[in-house]
Amino acid sequence: MKFSKDYEDLAEIIVSKFRDENFKDYLEQKEYCLQTSKEEFVKLFENMAEDLAAIEKERFEFYNSLSTEQRDTLDKLILKSFDAAAFNVLREIEENLDEHKSIGLTINGKPVEQISNEFWSGTCFGEYLMWLEQKSNYGKYQH
């Protein structure tokens, strides 16, 4: 089935903003901590406010204390959290739209309801699971 530009744009925006951009930021922070020596790390945060430096130190020590297997598990938990948040927000928006007409989504200036006939699952939040497999840089939905 060929999807409309609005459908494709909605899928790309939802996956990018709820999942991929956030997970990329998390991975960059993690990799920075793993690739920086303790000496380099301490130097970088010498002039930082004490409370912010303490947060950075805590992250550095945490990531470096984990085994590779534990880091992989943490990555999956982080993805699961992003996915659950997106799913819940989309469901809440859709349910409020159906019940109260008080909240909704638009894409390219049109209400999402105008493209809902393209949703295989029948709902925007159900479609999210399919969009992850098709559009995410980080794989399918994490259970």
CB 59 within 8 A of CB 29: yes
The model's pLDDT over 54-86, given as tens digits with 9 standing for 90+, comes to 999 999 999 999 999 999 999 999 999 999 999
What value does the CA radius of gyration of the chain take, rounded to a whole number of Å?
Answer: 19
Ordered by start, the domain boundaries in the chain are 5-135
pLDDT band at residue 2 under the 50/70/90 scheme: confident
CB 34 within 8 A of CB 70: no
Residue 127 in tokens: 């479609």
Of residues 139 and 136, which shows the higher confidence score?
Answer: 136
pLDDT band at residue 99 under the 50/70/90 scheme: low
Lowest-pLDDT choice from 40-49, 59-68, 108-117? 108-117
Within the chain, strands assigned E span: 106-107, 110-111
For 136, which DSSP code? Answer: -
Q: Is the dihedral of CA 15, 16, 21, 27 positive or negative?
A: positive
pTM for this prediction? 0.83
If residue 7 lies in a helix (H) or strand (E), which one and from where to where?
Answer: helix 5-15
Q: What is the mean pLDDT of residues 81-100?
A: 83
